[in-house]
Amino acid sequence: MAKQFTNDVEAADALAQTYLNLKKEIAKIVVGQDDVVRLILTGIFCQGHSLLIGVPGLAKTLLVQTISTSLDLQFKRIQFTPDLMPSDIVGAETMDKERNFQFVKGPIFANIILADEINRTPPKTQAALLESMQEYAVTIAGSNYPLPRPFFVLATQNPIEQEGTYPLPEAQLDRFMFNIFLDYPTYQQEISIVKNTTADVTQQVSKTLNAEEITAFQHLVRRVPIADNVVEYAVKLVHSSRPGQNGSAIATDLLEWGAGPRASQFLVLGAKCNALINGKYSPDIEDVQAVAKPVLRHRLVRNFKAEAEGITVDGIIEKLMA
């Protein structure tokens, strides 16, 4: 049962401490990746889905499994393959011995879904996640089945340039709050990784949060007060990403199209949570900037000029923030 707080300030302090406890538990298994952990936990407290992108071997799957272990939630892993069907994800109706149809739930019916290597499966199967991510329910044979709450999709993806992958449709990409890049570990971090993974010692991760507490923190994030100038900065940043007369000269010069209103919503939510986990009671412009890249990078499409000149999406976002 979630602890009852006398006021939102007490709850905000508890969220900041809970975040530190979660980081400590996750660090028992996952070395480094502090920024990645911060963004995934921010997405969870904002009730948003996250997409993790990195080359094979960077512990994307291990990271998600470790986070799910530290949260007292039902966890399911779906390995996406070229022959995976939509019914393998959401479930299907089957006939029982009495020749009656009954719905057999698929692995999507859990609190945390690890969609492992989501870009290894064709778009038809990728689209099976769309309704669940947006509506928190699935529809089978005309019947609507709500998913357990809280509900998160944490998807891992190998870079598109690698052989045997399918780019995610823009409509599905937009439903992810964050697009998180995982980079190679540093030299010292890799030494620690090798020592930890080649020894006959298993670290145990303690459960730190349950479903009721997560839901309470999600409501707390939405109640955080935010100044008008911070909201205006977030919306202005999104508007500046749109080519044409409403956007900036940078967007017109380097982008095919920019981010939609959902990006503005996620910037404000992410900024609120980023402030809370850092011990602040209200976000400022720096909190918006702290989540700008993961919120925007999968919503901006470069034009030919930007691609030809090797200008990255992150580089364009930095120009827009400057």
Mean pLDDT in the chain? 87
CATH 1.10.8.80 fits 224-321, yes or no: yes
The whole-angstrom separation of Cα 175 and Cα 12 is 27
Structure tokens at 242: 């749109």
CA–CA dist 221, 14 (Å, integer): 12
Indicate the domain borders of the chain. Answer: 8-213, 224-321
76-110 exposure pattern, b = at least 16 Cβ within 10 A, e = fewer: bbbebeeebebebbbbeeeeeeeeeeeeeebbbbb
**What secondary structure, in 3-state letters, does 46-90 show?**
CCCEEEEECCCCCCHHHHHHHHHHHEECCEEEEECCCCCCCHHHH
Report DSSP letters for 277-322, one per residue.
HTT-SS--HHHHHHHHHHHHTTT-EE-HHHHHTT--HHHHHHHHH-
Q: What is the DSSP string of 214-271?
A: HHHHHHHHHH----HHHHHHHHHHHHTTS-STTS-HHHHHHEEE---HHHHHHHHHHH
**CA–CA distance, 195 with 116 (Å, rounded to integer):** 26
Fold of 8-213: Rossmann fold (3.40.50)
What's this model's pTM, rounded to 2 decimal places?
A: 0.89
**Radius of gyration of the chain, Cα coordinates, nearest whole angstrom:** 20
pLDDT digits (tens, 9 = 90+) for 115-149: 888 888 888 888 888 778 888 888 887 778 899 88
SS3 132: helix
What's the CA gap between 116 and 169, in Å, rounded?
17
Q: Would you state the pLDDT for residue 10? A: 87
Please indicate whether residue 22 or residue 96 has the higher confidence score (pLDDT). Answer: 22
Pull the structure tokens for residue 187. Answer: 């030299």
Q: What angle do CA 113, 115, 116 make, to 5 degrees?
A: 130
Model confidence pLDDT, tens digit, residues 243-289: 986 778 888 899 988 888 999 999 999 999 999 999 999 999 999 99
